[in-house]
Amino acid sequence: MKVINNKHGLDMKIIRLITVFIILTAVIGTGCQESEDSYPKQYPGYQCRATEPIARSINTDCNIQFWDIMFKYTYVKLESYFYTVGAPCNESVFRIKYINSKHDHCEPDYTFTLKMNAMTRDEFFKPGSIQINKLDIYEESLCGGIGGPASNVDITLIWDEVSLVGSVYSGKGRFIINKDIPSSFPGYKYPAQEIPFEFHARDRERN
């Protein structure tokens, strides 16, 4: 990992400290409950819940690099889920978690939750492109975690190859951030870039 400069390194420490403060405040104020099958809470107001897990890809090895708001990291494992969300959202969701190669200091794991119009598994898992205009970004590290919806996003999800063996889908693709996404920290942004992914579904009947 290369620090852009000393000022940015200091800024990053400040950002991480702010993140820890926010998380501690939330835990002290409201407590924290998680279930084994929980998905990231949906927005707005946690009203929209996952109704059907359709396909998942767990512990997939990879070697992927992309920029966050300050640094370029290498990610070595992926966890992905495709599921539907009920009313009032009525959406399909593709959630991809990128696991960092390092966790020595505050190197983050990132989860991108891509939301689209409701579609079936067969409609989603096929070569082609899908326009994404709603996105949540979650960051987790030794310093804590923070996340929420991004605003005014323009993203294209592309499946380059898809295969089906029995009821198990596999494939490779990418999502393209067509324009910079402002972060919650003034002056910082997730830059326009192309982020690849792989998906190797597990048979739900056997798992």
Domain boundaries, the chain: 6-31+38-200
Checking if the pLDDT of 55 tops 70, the result is: yes
Contact status, residue 112 vs residue 96, Cβ threshold 8 Å? yes
Range with the lowest mean pLDDT among 14-18, 65-69, 153-157? Answer: 14-18
Grade residue 50 by pLDDT with cuts at 50, 70 and 90.
Answer: confident
Query: pTM score, two decimals?
Result: 0.76
* Structural contact between residues 155 and 175, judged by C-beta atoms closer than 8 angstroms: yes
pLDDT in tens, 106-132: 899 999 999 999 999 999 999 999 999
Specify the pLDDT at position 197.
Answer: 98
Strand partners, 198: 172
105 pLDDT tier (thresholds 50, 70, 90): confident
Q: With a cut of 60, say whether residue 92 has pLDDT above it.
A: yes
pLDDT tier at 155, thresholds 50, 70, 90:
very high
Among residues 116, 107, 178, the alpha carbon closest in space to that of 140 is found at: 107
Q: How confident is the model at residue 11 (pLDDT cuts 50, 70, 90)?
A: low
pLDDT above 50: residue 165? yes
Is residue 70 within 8 A of residue 100, CB to CB? The reply is no
Of 140, 56, 139, residue with least CA distance to 93: 56
d(CA 104, CA 27): 24
The C-alpha angle with vertex 138 and arms to 184 and 136, in degrees rounded to 5, equals 75
The alpha carbon dihedral of 7, 188, 157, 145 has a sign of positive
